[in-house]
Amino acid sequence: MKLNEANIKTAKALIKKAQRISIITHFNPDADAVGSSIGLYYYLKKRKKDATIIMPNPFPAFLDFFAAGVDMIIASKESKKACKVLMESDLIFCLDFNMIHRVGNQTKDALHDSQATKILIDHHQEPEKGFDVKFSYPSASSTTEVLAHFLTALSGKRAIDFGIAQAIYIGVCTDTGSFSYNCNNAETYSLVSELVGKGVKVDKVHQEIYNTFSENRLRLLGYAIYQKLKVFPQYHAAYICLSNDELRRYRFQPGDTEGLVNYCLNLDGVTFGCLVTERDRVVRLSFRSKSDTVDVNKFARKYWSGGGHIMASGGTYQGKLSDVITALEQQIKTL
């Protein structure tokens, strides 16, 4: 990956000049969002910059192990403070999202209105206008992979110490489903090799991320697959739908449905998978594809005001869960 040199020069000058830097990522932050935010935060802090991370809402507890001790503002809990920080920043890094509204309702207006220069570091397709300097690489495995190249371009390979390396590895590992998709690029493995060289313990990270389920989370997974999986063999599709009540029954915590949608694709012949979850009055949809001919980015954009990548995307709907299911079952027939 060769980053645009003029953009690197601009970013370098902006960081040097900046008095207050914010780092913000998307709503329902996943490991790539948290990893890229923390990796960049460590880098800026080491350079004695005043940097603040703004998380739109809490991230999954299984990421606590590498986020401990990092100061951040959770916008869903302290929205005024988060907006104030954005408005008072002179530089804002936007990580792992491609549309301003993806940061969520609490901060989308402040992010939009802030006079700060906005630098995008991301791997989603077709970023919208509104970012001043773009490092957008949809072919990258993850935002942290782009971040690794960004930091190296700024300060050389020494820029990446153990903490940054671990944060970068976590994004690469999780956004490729532990190296099972988006990972046919030899460069990704060269990067991973370098990260391991910086002390990243691949086995330890795997234990922390994948083997730290609560009993409720594991039972929710069992229930979802056993009772809630709906398969449409004629359309090569499957989906799982979980209501508010069902999530409450299993004491749902952020991150508990992470990875669940992928089980739809375990089925031979199924190329389109979807997870529908009801979160109070908002319905979240996650889409996955395992075929080049099924573009779930387009699907999410067309039907659910969402987006993402060709093989993984998402969307939201304000309304009744039953309406979502009726519409989804019709849409599946068009696949």
- Determine if 96 is a binding residue for Mn ion (CB under 5 A): yes
Percent composition of the chain: helix, strand, coil (DSSP 3-state, to 5): 45, 20, 35
- Determine if 32 is a binding residue for Mn ion (CB under 5 A): yes
Contact, 96 vs 25, CB < 8 A? yes
Q: What is the DSSP letter of 195?
A: H
- Determine if 289 is a binding residue for ligand 5GP (CB under 6 A): no
> What is the H or E stretch that residue 24 is in?
strand 21-25
State the number of binding residues for ligand 5GP (CB under 6 A).
15
- Determine if 102 is a binding residue for ligand 5GP (CB under 6 A): yes
- Determine if 122 is a binding residue for Mn ion (CB under 5 A): no
Backbone angles phi, psi at 120, to 5 degrees: -100, 130
For the record, the structure tokens of 53 come out as: 């991370």
Sole window of 14-22, 133-141, 155-163, 300-308 interacting with ligand 5GP (rule: CB under 6 A): 300-308
State the number of binding residues for Mn ion (CB under 5 A).
4
Q: Which is nearer to ligand 5GP, 159 or 247 (CB)?
A: 247
Q: Which is nearer to ligand 5GP, 253 or 316 (CB)?
A: 316
In one-letter notation, the amino acid at residue 30 is D
- Determine if 108 is a binding residue for ligand 5GP (CB under 6 A): no
Q: What is the DSSP letter of 27?
A: S
Residue 203 burial (C-beta neighbours within 10 Å; 0-12, 13-18, 19+) = exposed
User: Of 82, 312, 324, 328, which lies in the binding site for ligand 5GP, with binding defined by CB under 6 A?
Assistant: 312
User: Of 15, 85, 308, 317, which lies in the binding site for ligand 5GP, with binding defined by CB under 6 A?
Assistant: 308
- Determine if 258 is a binding residue for Mn ion (CB under 5 A): no
Q: Which is nearer to Mn ion, 175 or 295 (CB)?
A: 175
- Determine if 26 is a binding residue for ligand 5GP (CB under 6 A): yes
Q: Binds 312, which of ligand 5GP, Mn ion, none (CB < 5 to 8 A, cut-off by type)?
A: ligand 5GP
Q: Which is nearer to ligand 5GP, 98 or 107 (CB)?
A: 98
- Determine if 313 is a binding residue for ligand 5GP (CB under 6 A): yes
Q: Cβ neighbours of residue 93 under 8 Å, at least 6 residues apart?
A: 21, 22, 23, 24, 40, 118, 119, 121
- Determine if 307 is a binding residue for ligand 5GP (CB under 6 A): yes
Helix 143-155 × helix 186-197 angle, to 10°: 70
DSSP codes of every residue in 288-324: EE-STT--HHHHHHHHHS-EE-SSEEEEEEES-HHHH
Q: Which is nearer to ligand 5GP, 163 or 278 (CB)?
A: 278
Contact, 131 vs 119, CB < 8 A? yes
Give residues in contact with Mn ion (CB under 5 A): 32, 96, 143, 175
Give residues in contact with ligand 5GP (CB under 6 A): 26, 30, 98-99, 102, 286, 306-309, 312-316
